[in-house]
Each structure stands twice: as C-alpha cells, then as structure tokens.
Amino acid sequence: MSTIYSHTKQTLYKANERGRADYGWLKTHYSFSFSNYYDPSKINFGVLRVLNDDYIAGGGGFPTHPHANMEIITIPLEGDLAHRDSTGKAEVIRSGDVQVMSAGRGIEHSEFNHSKTNPVRLFQIWVFPKIKNTAPAYGQKHFSEAQRVNQFQWIISPEDAPIEGSLTIKQDAYFALLSLEAGKSLTYEWQRKGNGLYALLIEGSAQIEGQDLTKRDALTIENATHIQLKAQENSQWLLMEVPMSL
C-alpha cells in the first residue's frame, strides 16, 4: 500500500536541526520551541506540544514545579527516574516503563535521576488535553521490548476509546513503539480519520514512503490513511498519531 494522495503533506525534521541546551546536569534537544529555544515554525504539531530528548546526569533532576491542563508522557530509554507529586505518588520510572501524568486542574511534581552516578536518557512529551480542569491522574506500566518486534506496541490511547494494554490520556491520540528488523516493512494504518502522524526514528536507519531517515530524524504526515515503514537496518520507532486541531 502507498500514500499516493495529492493532498498528503509530509515534512522532514532532521535531528541536527533541533534546539539544544546544556545545563551541565541536563543536556537536551528540543523538537519544539521550549524554554530558551524558540522557532516560530516549530511550536507544535497539532495537539503535540513538547518532545524533549533529555540526558540527565547522575544526581541531577527537576525540583518540584507545577503543571496544569497538559497530558505528560515520560519514556525512559536508559536508567531510572524518581518521581514525586502532590497527589502523594512516589515512584521510580525504569527503562522500559512508560509514565502518564494528567496534570488536569493542577499538580506539582519533581523528577530526579534515581542514580547518583549513572545517567538517565528519556523522552518527555506534552499533549494538550481535549478536556480541561479535570482531577489530576497518574499511570505507569512496563512494556516488553519483545512485544514490539516487527509489530506495533500501543502504549497510549484515548481514555474514552482505549486500546487494550495501553495507558490512556484525555486526548484522541495514539502512541506506538516499534522495533523493525533490517529489511522488514510494515504498514501503519491511521487509528482516527483526520489525525496527523509524527514518526520519530529513535535508532537505526529507515524509510517512510521512500523518504530516508537516520537516528532521531522525524517525519510528519498529514491527510493520509496509511504509510509504509521500511528498515534499512534494525530500527526503533516512536509513532505519535494526534489530532491536528487544538
């Protein structure tokens, strides 16, 4: 299958064109305008507002700070992150886990590297909710790497239309992880008409509909119903399908 539509829109975002910051204990890349990084062409992709690629040194972290009316997803790639929040939650988010925090009408939390010596690498993602001022909520789950080899592993789905086994958020968004072996192809089919897809290549090299991507490159696709992913070498993906209207 192919997405050969005259109205399909694709935009490539190269990894080396992301915003950067180095705070010593935190080294990060911003896919969207955030903190001191501002690019008017990179404010958001539909309801997807933040995609930060963070490296936190041993002992480093974010002191207690507030959030409101945002769905916050944390995906550790390496190491463990200690979480505390004003609802009383005190958890360790480990590599392989996914955490969801619905800030709702207001929540305060802190995030620190659980180790004093080893780094943590993670993605932190913010999504605008479709319902505001709800009660804060928290979810966390471990997702087996074996269950995403050459198949989509759904980690996030809408609260009112959940996919079995996934965590849920207050938005019509669907996130999947995928480990695609070299030479393999797989077709991604849209879960909801009108959504856009933000496809991030975490590791490896691959193609989407003939477009070459390397590590941390991303491709956005709008006005399509399916696209084909092909791994040139073993590759890891984070696929984020989100509404395009705020």
Question: Mean pLDDT in the chain?
Answer: 95
Task: Please say whether the beta carbons of 216 and 202 come within 8 A.
Answer: yes
213 in any annotated domain: yes
Q: Is the pLDDT of residue 206 over 50?
A: yes
Quote the CA–CA distance of 92 and 99 in Å, as a whole number.
Answer: 10
- b (16+ CB within 10 A) / e for 5-32: eeeeebeebebeebbeeeeebbbbbbbb
237 in any annotated domain: yes
CATH number of the domain enclosing 54: 2.60.120.10
4 in any annotated domain: no
Question: What's the domain count of the chain?
Answer: 1
| Residue linked to tokens 């505001």 | 132
1 in any annotated domain: no
The model's confidence at residue 6, banded by pLDDT at 50, 70 and 90, is low
- Mean local confidence (pLDDT), 194-219: 97
169 in any annotated domain: yes
- The identity of residue 107, as a single letter, is I
182 in any annotated domain: yes
The model's confidence at residue 87, banded by pLDDT at 50, 70 and 90, is confident
215 in any annotated domain: yes
In which domain, by residue range, is 95 found? Answer: 9-242
127 in any annotated domain: yes
